[in-house]
C-alpha cells in the first residue's frame, strides 16, 4: 500500500509540478523512510547538520516553505519516537525532575506568543516560534532514546567529531584569501545561505576594521563560538576519561576546535569555554590545574598574533571601550525598561508594543524575560536549578555517573556562562544552538537519573 501511494504521489507531482519536483519528492520520501527506520542514523544526521551545516535548507520547498535540515531531522526523530511509544514497541521512559517545568515553560511561551500577536504578527515569526518550540520538545525525545550510556557516549563522540570538522573548516576559511573564502561560502546559496558580504569583521565606531572573525558555516561568529565551546568541553572530557589511542584522538579533535574558537574573537564563548573547562578540570583532574600557566605560555609563543588580537578585543569589553560593548550596555538598559513595563508574560515573540521599545538584547536570560516575562524566566531558572542540582547529587553519590555527568554538566555550565552575555541560546534565528542547548540539558538529566538509578540498583543487587 505504501508503494502504491508513493507511486501515485510521484505521478501526480510529475503531472502538475514537473519531473524535477517529482524526483526531489521521491528522494526526500525515500530518505525520510530510511531515517525514520533508524533513530541512530537520524540522530547522526542531526549532529552532523548542527555542527557542519547548521543553516542548510532542503533545496526543494514544501508549500512555498523550505524546511531546514535541522527541522527535518528533529521532526523525524519526534515522529519515530512517538511512533514507537504509541505502537507500544517501546515503553515511555520514567519521568524526570524537569518534565513538568519544561511543559509549563512551553505553555507559558504559547501564552506569551498569543498575547504578543496583539502587537505584531507575521507568518515568519510564527514559523520561527514553532522552530524554537521544536527545539525545546527535543528534550523529551533525547531523554527517551538516550537512556543507554553507550548511546550517550556515541552522541558525545559524534558531536566532538563534528565540532572538530567545523573547527577545521572555520580555520581553513579564515586563512584562505578573502575572495576565495567568500566564493566558497556563497556557493552554499542553494542551501539557504546568504550570498552577499558573508565574511564578518570587527566594527569600531560603526566602521568595519580589517580584523576578520572566523564563522565557519555558522554565519555568525558568536553562534560559531557557542558551538565550539560545547564541543571543546566535551572533547576535553573525552581526553580526560579516555586511554591510549582514544585519548590521542580526543586531543587531536580539541586542537582545531580551540584554534577556531580563538579566531572567532567571541568573548562570551571564550568565557563559557574557560568556565566549563575549569570546572571539568577541578572535578576530574584537579592535579592538572598547575599546568594551566605552562600551557598558556606555549600558547602565547605559538599563537602570539591571534592571542594578542583576542586580548585587545577582550580588554576593550572589560573597560567598555568598543562599539559592541557600548551597544550591549544600552541593550541591557532598554531590556530592563521593557521588562518593567511587561513583567509577567513579556511581549511575546513578534515585536514590542511601542516604537520606543524593541525585542533584542545580548543576554539569553534578559531575552527570555522580554519575550516570556518573569514567569518564563522563573521557569527557566527552575529547570536549570533542578538539572544542575540533580547532576551534582548524582556526581557525589554515584560511581557510574561521575565521568558522564561531569563532562556534559560542565558543557552545560559553560553554555550558561556564555548565555549571560549572548542571546543565541534562545534566539528565534538560531535553531541549531537552541536545539543543542536542550539536547545538552537532556543528556545531563538522563545521565544523572539513569546512572544514579543504575548505581542504586547495583548496590541493592549486591546486597542480596
DSSP 35-53: HHT-HHHHHHHHHHHHHH-
The reported pLDDT for the residue numbered 313 is 55
* Domain shared by 248 and 277, yes or no: yes
Q: Note the pLDDT of residue 116.
A: 86
Residue pair 117/350 in contact by the 8 Å Cβ criterion:
yes
User: Taking a C-beta distance cutoff of 8 angstroms, is the pair 385, 393 a contact?
Assistant: no
**Per-residue pLDDT tens digits for 260-291:** 999 998 889 999 999 999 999 999 988 887 77
Are 8 and 115 in a shared domain?
no
- 357 burial via Cβ count (<10 Å: 0-12, 13-18, 19+): middle
pLDDT (mean) for 123-137 = 91
* pLDDT average, residue stretch 30-42: 64
The residue that leads in pLDDT, 309 or 89, is: 89
Domain C-terminal end among 46, 67, 92: 92
pLDDT tens digits, 310-326:
555 555 655 456 666 66
Residue 16, pLDDT > 80, answer no
- DSSP letter for 189, please: G
Q: Do 79 and 106 have their domain in common?
A: no
Question: What does the block give as the cell for 39?
Answer: 533513530
Closest C-alpha among 248, 204, 200 to residue 225: 200
Say yes or no to pLDDT of 17 above 50.
no
Span 58-84, pLDDT tens digits? 887 666 678 899 999 999 999 999 888
Under the banding of pLDDT at 50, 70 and 90, the label for residue 39 is: confident
C-beta neighbour count of 362 within 10 angstroms: 21
Kindly state whether residues 72 and 4 are assigned to the same domain.
yes
CA distances from 216 to 63, 109, 221 (A): 31, 32, 8
What CA–CA distance (Å, rounded) separates 20 from 33?
20
- Band of pLDDT at residue 8, cut at 50, 70 and 90: very low
DSSP designation for 68: B
Which three three-digit cell numbers place residue 132?
A: 524554537
Residues 6+ apart with CB under 8 A from 422: 222, 226, 266, 268, 269, 362, 363, 364
pLDDT tens-digit series, residues 222-256 = 999 999 999 999 999 999 988 889 999 999 999 99
Q: What is the pLDDT of residue 20?
A: 41
What confidence score (pLDDT) does residue 12 get? Answer: 44
Indicate if 457 and 433 belong to the same structural domain: yes
Helix (H/G/I), strand (E/B), else coil: 140: helix
Q: What is the pLDDT of residue 256?
A: 96
pLDDT for residue 3:
39
> CA torsion angle for 304, 307, 309, 315 (degrees, to 10)?
-130
Most confident of 13-22, 400-409, 418-427: 418-427
Q: Is the pLDDT of residue 87 over 50?
A: yes
Q: Which residue has the cell 544526521?
A: 45
| Average confidence score pLDDT of the chain | 83
**Signed CA dihedral, 390, 396, 402, 406: sign only:** positive
Q: Which of 28-37, 89-98, 146-155, 347-356 has the lowest mean pLDDT?
A: 28-37
Pairwise CA distance, residues 386 & 295, whole Å: 35
Asked whether 51 and 231 are in contact (CB, 8 A), the reply is yes
pLDDT per position as a tens digit, 156-186: 999 999 999 999 999 999 999 999 999 999 9
The pLDDT confidence band at residue 131, using thresholds 50, 70 and 90, is very high
Domain range for 458: 101-463
Whether residue 394 is found in the same domain as residue 307? yes
User: Percentage of residues in the chain with pLDDT exceeding 70?
Assistant: 79
| Torsion angle, alpha carbons of 414, 418, 420, 423, to 10 | -130
Residue 29 has pLDDT above 80, yes or no: no
Distance CA 93, CA 240 (A): 31
Pairing assessment for the beta strands 200-204 and 207-213 based on DSSP bridges: antiparallel
**Grid coordinates of 237:** 572530557
Residues 391 and 283 in one domain: yes
Among 358, 349, 324, 90, CA closest to 203: 324
Cell numbers describing residue 2: 505504501
Residues 109 and 143 reside in one and the same domain: yes
Mark whether 110 and 52 lie in a shared domain.
no
- The DSSP call for residue 320 is T
Q: What distance, in Å, lies between the first and last C-alpha atoms of the chain?
A: 53
Decide if pLDDT at 367 tops 80: yes
Q: Which residues contact 452 (CB under 8 A, 6 or more apart)?
A: 393, 394, 397, 398, 400, 401
**What is the pLDDT at residue 64?**
67
The predicted pLDDT at position 363 comes to 93
Q: Provide the number of structural domains found in the chain.
A: 2
Domain co-membership, 150 together with 223 = yes
Quick one: 203 and 297 in the same domain? yes
Set of cell numbers at residue 57: 535548507
235 and 211 fall within a common domain: yes
- How far, in Å, CA of 138 to CA of 50, rounded? 13
Over residues 190-216, mean pLDDT: 83
Better-predicted residue by pLDDT, 221 or 22 = 221
Between residues 211 and 309, the one the model is more confident about: 211
Give the C-alpha separation, 37 to 453, whole Å. Answer: 30
| Confidence bin at 299 (pLDDT 50/70/90) | low
The pLDDT, as a whole number, for residue 18 is 45
Amino acid at each position: 500500500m505504501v508503494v502504491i501511494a508513493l507511486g501515485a504521489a510521484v505521478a501526480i507531482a510529475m503531472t502538475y509540478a514537473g519531473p524535477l519536483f517529482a524526483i526531489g519528492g521521491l528522494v526526500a520520501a525515500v530518505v525520510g523512510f530510511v531515517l525514520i527506520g533508524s533513530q541512530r542514523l537520524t540522530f547522526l544526521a542531526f549532529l552532523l547538520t548542527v555542527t557542519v551545516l547548521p543553516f542548510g535548507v532542503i533545496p526543494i520547498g514544501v508549500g512555498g516553505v523550505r524546511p531546514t535540515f535541522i527541522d527535518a531531522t528533529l521532526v523525524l526523530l519526534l515522529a519515530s519516537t512517538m511512533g514507537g511509544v504509541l505502537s507500544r514497541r517501546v515503553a515511555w521512559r520514567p519521568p524526570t525532575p524537569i518534565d513538568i517545568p519544561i511543559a509549563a515553560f512551553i505553555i507559558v511561551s504559547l501564552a506569551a506568543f498569543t498575547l504578543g500577536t496583539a502587537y505584531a504578527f507575521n507568518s515568519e515569526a510564527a514559523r520561527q516560534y514553532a522552530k524554537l518550540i521544536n527545539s525545546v520538545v527535543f528534550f523529551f525525545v533525547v531523554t527517551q532514546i538516550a537512556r543507554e550510556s553507550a548511546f550517550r557516549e556515541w552522541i558525545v563522540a559524534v558531536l566532538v567529531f563534528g565540532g572538530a570538522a567545523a573547527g577545521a573548516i572555520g580555520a581553513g576559511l579564515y586563512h584562505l584569501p578573502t575572495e576565495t573564502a567568500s566564493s566558497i561560502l556563497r556557493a552554499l546559496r542553494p542551501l539557504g545561505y546568504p550570498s552577499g558580504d558573508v565574511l564578518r569583521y570587527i566594527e569600531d565606531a560603526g566602521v568595519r576594521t580589517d580584523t576578520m572573525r572566523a564563522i565557519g558555516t555558522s554565519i555568525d561568529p558568536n553562534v560559531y563560538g557557542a558551538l565550539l565551546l560545547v564541543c571543546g568541553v566535551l572533547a576535553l572530557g573525552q581526553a580526560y576519561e579516555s586511554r591510549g589511542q582514544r585519548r590521542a584522538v580526543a586531543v587531536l579533535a580539541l586542537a582545531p576546535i580551540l584554534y577556531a574558537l580563538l579566531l572567532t574573537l567571541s568573548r562570551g564563548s571564550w568565557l563559557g569555554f574557560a568556565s566549563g573547562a575549569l570546572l571539568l578540570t577541578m572535578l576530574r583532574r584537579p592535579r592538572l590545574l598547575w599546568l594551566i600557566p605552562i600551557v598558556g605560555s606555549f600558547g602565547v609563543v605559538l599563537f602570539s598574533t591571534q592571542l594578542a588580537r583576542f586580548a585587545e578585543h577582550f580588554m576593550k569589553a572589560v573597560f567598555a571601550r568598543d562599539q559592541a560593548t557600548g551597544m550591549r550596555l544600552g541593550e541591557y538598559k532598554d531590556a530592563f525598561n521593557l521588562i518593567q513595563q511587561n513583567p509577567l508574560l513579556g511581549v511575546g515573540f513578534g515585536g514590542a508594543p511601542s516604537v520606543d521599545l524593541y525585542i533584542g538584547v545580548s543576554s539569553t536570560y534578559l531575552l527570555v524575560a522580554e519575550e516570556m516575562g518573569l514567569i518564563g524566566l522563573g521557569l527557566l531558572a527552575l529547570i536549570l536549578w533542578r538539572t544542575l542540582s540533580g547532576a551534582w547529587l548524582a556526581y557525589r553519590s554515584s560511581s557510574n555517573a561521575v565521568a558522564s555527568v561531569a563532562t556534559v554538566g560542565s558543557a552545560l555550565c559553560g553554555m550558561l556562562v556564555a548565555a549571560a552575555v549572548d542571546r543565541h541560546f534562545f534566539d528565534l534565528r538560531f535553531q541549531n544552538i537552541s536545539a543543542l542547548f536542550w539536547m545538552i540539558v537532556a543528556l545531563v538529566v538522563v545521565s544523572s537519573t539513569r546512572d544514579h538509578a543504575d548505581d542504586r540498583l547495583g548496590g541493592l543487587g549486591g546486597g542480596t
